[in-house]
Amino acid sequence: MNETLKDIAQDLKDSPKKVQLIYAFNGSGKTRLSREFKELISPKANDTEDGEDQKSKVLYYNAFTEDLFYWDNDLEGDSERKLIIQPNAYTQSALVRHGQEQNAIANFQRYTNPKLTPKFNPDFSEVTFSFERGNNESEPNIKISKGEESNFIWSIFYSLLEQIIDSLNDQVNEGVASEFDHLEYIFIDDPVSSLDENHLMQLAVDLASLIKSSQSSLKFIVSTHDVTFYNFLHNELKSKSCFLLERIDDDTVALVEKNGDSNTSFFYHLDLKRQLESAIDAGDVQKHHFAYIRSLYEKTASFLGYPKWSKLLPGDNEENRTAYLNRIIQFSSHDTLPGMRPSNLRPEEKQIVRYLLNHLITNYSYWQQEESQDG
């Protein structure tokens, strides 16, 4: 049944399940769903709009959480690079009230490199990074990668989440008052940005173990576009509901309940292909279909052992392939201001989607085998 994201947020709120796990293709509306859920549970009038408020009923992690951090690159001196932390209740709770900075650093180093060392300033308004090479050698004030930055922000969130669950467990077991007893929901959207497979599995292990350790009435909603992450959580978390979030058009989506992991309950790459073919046949190709094309190319490249999915793009040379790559990235990336860019595509842009899909299916035996099996 087609619904709006607001309808689905209400469905998630009404569920009695402790854990709800959602798989969704990029561009389906995962991040917007987390915002709709937050607005349903804790409207703007009641909190500080920055991820977590002391009396909010929901704590969430999504792409907007990362917007609380930005770089001062010291363009004049090119030496004092630092990550600025905007004033917000989420880091105030984790770092100032509960002193979780050392736990956040330890978690960050587990997911990246033990020699990559963050250092907070006294009031936790900024952080610098150094690379400790050993033998008393250090490379100070480095700028970390975007993936490392995402991992750092997640590590702060995860450390706060550990504190919350421990505190609520103490309340259940020992009757100790918890300052977090107002919390009812944790909504986590895609904490897996730019992690390699080993660290991805470590994060999945940590998150599943933490959720299973929760003894309070706290409920968890986790959404992801990563099949490995989804499958691991599906297999580890017993008391859960699992869903596939599908985008129908710009205004409606569908939340389809699934009973197994991605290998048994849905063939996500075939679903993508069918949705693309349906949109092409109906002449209704939209911007989010570029994200679907990208996912198909990534899936095929991974299966065939290509180091980069761009190697599968049409073109006799790197320059031609780069032109298609840039166009796909342009339309498949998250928009900072989605309302500023029209969703309707020009006819030539719709034709690119048709051409890229035909190229993939026609030129790679993987898809020809899928066609045979599916037929």
Sketch out the chain's domains with CATH numbers: 5-66+104-114+147-259 (3.40.50), 267-374 (no CATH)
CB 103 within 8 A of CB 159: yes
Q: Which residues contact 41 (CB under 8 A, 6 or more apart)?
A: 13, 56, 57, 58, 184, 185
Round to whole Å and give the CA distance between 142 and 119: 12
Name the H helices within 175-288: 197-213, 227-236, 262-265, 268-281
The pLDDT value given to residue 268: 63
Query: Which residue is listed with tokens 């570029």?
Result: 290
Round to whole Å and give the CA distance between 340 and 343: 9
The pLDDT value given to residue 336: 38
Strand, coil or helix: 136? coil
Closest CA to 185 of 7, 44, 367, 40: 40
The pLDDT value given to residue 46: 45
Round to whole Å and give the CA distance between 258 and 304: 28
State the number of CA atoms in the 13 A half-sphere of 44 facing the CB. 3
Pairing of strands 219-224, 19-24: parallel
The pLDDT value given to residue 365: 64
Q: What are the pLDDT digits (tens) for 296-306? A: 888 788 777 78
User: With a cut of 70, which residues of the chain have pLDDT below it?
Assistant: 1, 44-54, 193-197, 250, 262-268, 332-343, 365-375
CB 19 within 8 A of CB 240: yes
Closest CA to 13 of 179, 219, 180: 219
Strand, coil or helix: 49? coil
The pTM (predicted TM-score) of the whole model is 0.73
Closest CA to 143 of 74, 64, 231: 74
Convert 294-342 into a string of H (helix), E (strand) and C (coil).
HHHHHHHHHHHCCCCHHHHCCCCCHHHHHHHHHHHHHHHCCCCCHHHCC
The pLDDT value given to residue 48: 45
Name the H helices within 61-174: 63-66, 89-91, 101-111, 146-174
The pLDDT value given to residue 58: 94
Closest CA to 246 of 276, 219, 204: 276
